């Protein structure tokens, strides 16, 4: 029986999973790294950190007693989206990669709108122009680091750099390329209009493929470095959001996924192309062939919780050996829905959907002497759910059906966070019996590319199973509706001007 491997190049770590054809995980491992912030608002990572993490996690996964390395027949890739990797003519990184959380290119975003026009940007890219995406990041490098820009031979997305190290070949996929702001999302090809108007050479960018297409194989050099079998097929893969959706079975219309990781996304599959004309949410190509998806993205989801624990000193407030996250979740579970009138806006890094405002900032609203840290923790969790609901309301405006919501990411592992989502969204929430959905989805794409599964639908049917159901509680739904409608949804319009002044 063939084994399949998935690699997810995430923001804080790279994860590797090895599964058999039934979807049974035989091994998994991860290796962490950090985000470098050399200036205020910047977010960078050295591509070599990703490759070192891939090697470390792969070697540990291959040591599992259930894994025979030579049986690994195909490898799939998932990765953090929007990032910009610049290589010279010797295929060496010219500078650290500028990643999705970077905010330096606000002026370049305005320049794109001024040069091309909002209507044309919407027509081609189907997305708002925001810092951290590849297009404005490239313009920033051209303006501020011209000597580096002149040396660029290839521009890659993060997971595509890892595939280059695996195979020695350059490629990308429709889903990841569609999130660069240089891609014609409707036609699923690089946009000549965007590239020519911004004076970017088409040959800098790799050819895009469907996510399950085989685009290379493990090279001799990679096999020596990783112990992976030489010649194992490597598929195009995709962005972590659509590949994670594949990993938890979201490949058909009517199913919505809610991902609470470092950032947060709410995601729905489209059989027919659709776009929000007001540019409040994103439309991208799905990793499933000939499909698209709409997505609302927030920049600080689980990150808001970890910020509270780490930066406000609560990580040190407990005894050695105690997990502060688990203990704070237990405290928050004892607080009534609505956090006794405390509301949190999770805009610690600015915000994308639906406000598209890099100036937005986090807010605790309604603090009183009667509030303690447990109220604040629960308010953070509720605020993340409110922020995701903002996009879900836009889905409903666009007549996108949400019969069921699949909880993903770290938020799916918390019973309390699953319940909060079910009540805030007023929808059934389920979780799948899958850890590391993006790496698992990457492995399923590898299986399709290798012919282990006929298509993604068969792959999902054979491997993805529901584990937990949470139904909304009518009493809690009423509480959250009141807080969301009467307060949360009205706060941003009032504070927008003051965020800009700040």
445, 246 contact by CB (below 8 A) = yes
pLDDT of 321? 76
Burial of 151 (0-12, 13-18, 19+ CB in 10 A): middle
Question: 322 near 344, Cβ under 8 Å?
Answer: no
Q: Walk along the chain (502 residues) in steps of 10 and give the mean pLDDT of each run.
A: 94 95 95 94 96 97 94 97 97 97 94 92 89 97 98 98 98 97 95 96 97 97 96 97 93 91 91 90 94 94 93 77 89 97 96 93 97 97 98 94 88 94 96 88 98 96 91 97 98 97 94
Positions marked catalytic: 240
State the Cα–Cα distance between residues 366 and 344, nearest whole angstrom. 9
3-state secondary structure 424-445: HHCCCEEEECCCCHHHHHHHHH
pLDDT recorded at residue 324 = 87
Upper half-sphere CA count for residue 338 (Cβ side, 13 Å): 15
Please give the CATH topology (third level) of the domain spanning 3-248+434-464. Nucleotidyltransferase; domain 5 (3.30.420)
Does 299-405+481-497 match 3-248+434-464 at the fold level?
yes
CA 19 remoteness from chain centre: 22
- Grouping H, G, I as helix, E, B as strand and the rest as coil, residue 45 is strand
Q: Where are the domains of the chain?
A: 3-248+434-464, 299-405+481-497
Question: DSSP label at 235?
Answer: E
Fold of 299-405+481-497: Nucleotidyltransferase; domain 5 (3.30.420)
pLDDT value of residue 69 = 93
pLDDT at 97: 98
Instruction: Give the per-residue pLDDT at 261.
Output: 86
Nearest-5° angle of CA 419, CA 482, CA 388?
A: 50
What tokens appear for 403 in the block? 């019969």
């Amino acid at each position: 029986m063939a084994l399949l491997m998935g690699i997810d190049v995430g923001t804080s770590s790279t994860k590797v999973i090895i599964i058999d054809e039934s979807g049974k995980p035989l091994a998994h491992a991860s290796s962490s790294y950090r985000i470098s912030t050399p200036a205020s608002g910047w977010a960078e990572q050295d591509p070599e950190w990703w490759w070192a993490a891939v090697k470390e996690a792969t070697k540990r996964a291959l040591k599992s007693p259930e894994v025979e390395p030579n049986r690994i027949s195909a490898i799939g890739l998932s990765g953090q989206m929007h990032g910009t990797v610049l290589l010279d003519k010797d295929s060496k990184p010219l500078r650290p990669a500028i990643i999705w959380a970077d905010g330096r290119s606000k002026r370049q975003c305005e320049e794109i709108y001024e040069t091309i026009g909002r209507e044309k940007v919407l027509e081609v890219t189907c997305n708002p122009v925001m810092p951290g995406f590849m297009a404005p990041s490239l313009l920033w490098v051209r303006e501020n680091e011209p000597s580096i820009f002149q040396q660029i031979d290839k521009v890659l997305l993060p997971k595509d750099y890892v595939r280059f190290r695996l195979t020695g070949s350059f490629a990308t996929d429709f889903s990841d390329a569609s999130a660069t702001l240089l891609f014609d999302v409707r036609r699923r090809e690089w946009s000549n209009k965007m590239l020519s108007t911004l004076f970017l050479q088409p040959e800098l960018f790799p050819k895009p493929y469907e996510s399950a297409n085989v685009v290379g194989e493990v090279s001799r050099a990679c096999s020596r470095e990783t112990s992976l079998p030489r010649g194992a097929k490597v598929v195009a893969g995709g962005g972590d959001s659509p590949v994670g959706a594949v990993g938890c079975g979201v490949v058909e219309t009517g199913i919505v996924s809610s991902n609470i990781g470092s950032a947060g996304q709410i995601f729905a599959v489209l059989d027919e192309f659709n776009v929000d004309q007001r540019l409040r949410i994103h439309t991208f190509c799905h990793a499933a062939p000939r499909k698209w998806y709409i997505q609302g993205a927030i920049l600080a989801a689980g990150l808001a919780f970890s910020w509270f624990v780490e930066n406000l000193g609560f990580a040190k407030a407990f005894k050695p050996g105690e997990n502060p996250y688990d203990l704070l979740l237990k405290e928050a579970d004892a607080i009534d829905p609505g956090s006794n009138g405390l509301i949190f806006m999770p805009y610690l890094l600015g915000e994308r959907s639906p406000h598209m405002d890099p100036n937005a900032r986090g807010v605790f609203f309604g603090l009183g002497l009667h509030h303690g840290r447990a109220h604040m923790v629960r308010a953070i969790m509720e605020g993340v759910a409110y922020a995701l609901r903002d996009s879900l309301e836009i889905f409903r405006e666009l007549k996108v059906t949400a019969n069921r919501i699949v909880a993903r990411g770290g938020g799916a592992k918390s019973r309390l966070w699953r319940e909060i989502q079910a009540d805030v969204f007023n929808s059934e929430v389920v979780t799948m019996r899958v850890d590391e959905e993006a790496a698992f989805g990457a492995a399923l794409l590898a299986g399709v590319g290798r012919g282990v599964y006929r298509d993604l639908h068969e792959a999902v049917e054979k491997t993805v199973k529901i584990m937990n159901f949470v139904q909304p509680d009518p009493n809690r739904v009423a509480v959250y509706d009141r807080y969301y409608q009467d307060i949360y949804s009205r706060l941003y319009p009032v504070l927008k001007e003051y965020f800009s002044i700040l």
